[in-house]
Amino acid sequence: MTLIEKDNKGVYTVHFDEIECNNIQYDSSLNNHSVYTALIEKNTVCDGYAMAFQLIMEELGIESYIVTGPNHAWNAVKYDGKLYWVDVTWADQDGYIWNKWFLCGTN
């Protein structure tokens, strides 16, 4: 398995469980807030997870956004003309990947 796969129809499968969830620890000190701390230091908070996800989506040419609310950040991804939530932070549950937070409806 590779981290990013593309099928013969041009559909990408991105294994965020391997890229982010299994490799990044949530920073309980709340000091790390960047793509660098997420992907290089492997220790960040929600905005670092969201920025890392956004960077990967941009590299793949997939329309996505960082969404922020009170004390949290996550992403929205456009798929088939609709926006879906992706919350890599909440999906990363200390070794368990909670897929409930991938491509959730925005309503």
**Is the separation of the CB atoms in 74 and 64 below 8 Å?**
no
pLDDT in tens, 15-71: 554 555 567 888 888 999 999 998 889 889 999 989 998 998 898 888 999 999 999
Cα separation, 88 vs 92, whole angstroms: 6
pLDDT in tens, 59-80: 888 899 999 999 999 999 888 8
CA distances from 80 to 4, 66, 77, 104 (A): 20, 19, 10, 14
Q: What is the pLDDT of residue 11?
A: 63
What single-letter amino acid sits at 79?
Y
**Is the separation of the CB atoms in 44 and 30 below 8 Å?**
no
pLDDT band at 107 (very low <50, low <70, confident <90, very high): low
Cα separation, 85 vs 105, whole angstroms: 6
pLDDT band at 105 (very low <50, low <70, confident <90, very high): low
Global confidence as pTM: 0.75
What is the maximum span of the chain, computed from C-alpha positions, in angstroms?
44
